[in-house]
């Protein structure tokens, strides 16, 4: 949007009593806060509490004076993405890293001197994890050049979860194992819902270091609302425009 359009929208939101919590520097995403009744009135929808969660009972309608708004997310936080990692024991202690690299044809790439040095990979994930576990994996694997890993906090500190941390750590570990010269940045959303997914990808794209993003969580598409599919299509279109 133009600066004038964007500033008009911000002023209009404030006039309706919305507090601006955070903004994307691209002006493509705004986080706001207000009472439930205001959301229901302005966007002609209903929100109910169901089992401690918020459920949006009808589609959002954008009023004419807020026509710059493409969609409103976060009113419904019932959908959860799930990790697909399942710990298993393999005879002989597991599959050797060299076997994995050979199976995927990486050896000629390494022989050509390509190690991922200077490349950034972002891991899109939920919940907390132990970054020291990832670093220990790098060290004990004797990777060369040694990859680096860090966590980027963007929507609050995620709570550690034993059941899902293995997914995040595995993604970060194998990214460094395959491309040992890489810099891995873990973006773990503190909220597992539609809004958290949008915040996660907005943070990654605003950060704009990584041109490769790994995302191994998910849920069946039949569980995703048409509104959120449309939102994510635009997010991924933006990613393509940025060369991700």
How far apart CA 174 and CA 149 sit, in angstroms, is 12
| pLDDT higher at 148 or 26 | 148
Query: How many CA atoms does the CB half-sphere of 191 hold within 13 Å?
Result: 19
Q: What rounded mean pLDDT belongs to the chain?
A: 93
**What is residue 190's predicted lDDT score, i.e. its pLDDT?**
96
Predicted TM-score (pTM) of this structure = 0.89
> Is the per-residue pLDDT at 85 higher than 80?
no
Q: How far apart are the first and last CA of the chain?
A: 22
Residue 205's pLDDT band (cuts 50, 70, 90): very high
pLDDT at residue 177 tops 90: yes
Statement: residue 239 has pLDDT above 80: yes
């Amino acid at each position: 949007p133009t600066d004038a359009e964007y500033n008009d929208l911000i002023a209009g939101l404030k006039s309706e009593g919305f507090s601006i919590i955070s903004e994307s520097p691209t002006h493509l995403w705004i986080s706001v806060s207000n009472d439930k009744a205001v959301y229901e009135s302005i966007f002609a929808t209903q929100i109910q509490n169901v089992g401690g969660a918020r459920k949006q009972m009808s589609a959002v309608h954008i009023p004419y004076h807020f026509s710059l708004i493409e969609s409103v997310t976060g009113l419904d936080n019932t959908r959860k993405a799930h990790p697909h990692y399942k710990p298993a024991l393999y005879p002989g202690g597991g599959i050797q890293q060299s076997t994995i690299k050979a199976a995927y044809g990486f050896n000629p790439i390494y022989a050509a001197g390509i190690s991922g040095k200077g490349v950034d990979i972002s891991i899109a994930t939920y919940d907390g994890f132990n970054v020291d576990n990832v670093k220990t994996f790098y060290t004990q694997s004797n990777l060369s050049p040694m990859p680096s890993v860090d966590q980027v906090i963007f929507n609050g500190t995620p709570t550690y979860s034993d059941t899902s941390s293995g997914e995040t750590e595995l993604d970060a570990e194998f990214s460094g194992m395959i491309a040992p010269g890489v810099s891995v940045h873990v973006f773990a959303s503190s909220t597992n819902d539609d809004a958290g997914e949008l915040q996660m990808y907005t943070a990654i794209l605003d950060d704009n270091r990584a041109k490769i993003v790994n995302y191994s969580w998910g849920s069946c598409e039949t569980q995703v609302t048409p509104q959120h599919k449309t939102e994510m299509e635009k997010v991924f279109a933006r990613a393509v425009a940025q060369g991700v």
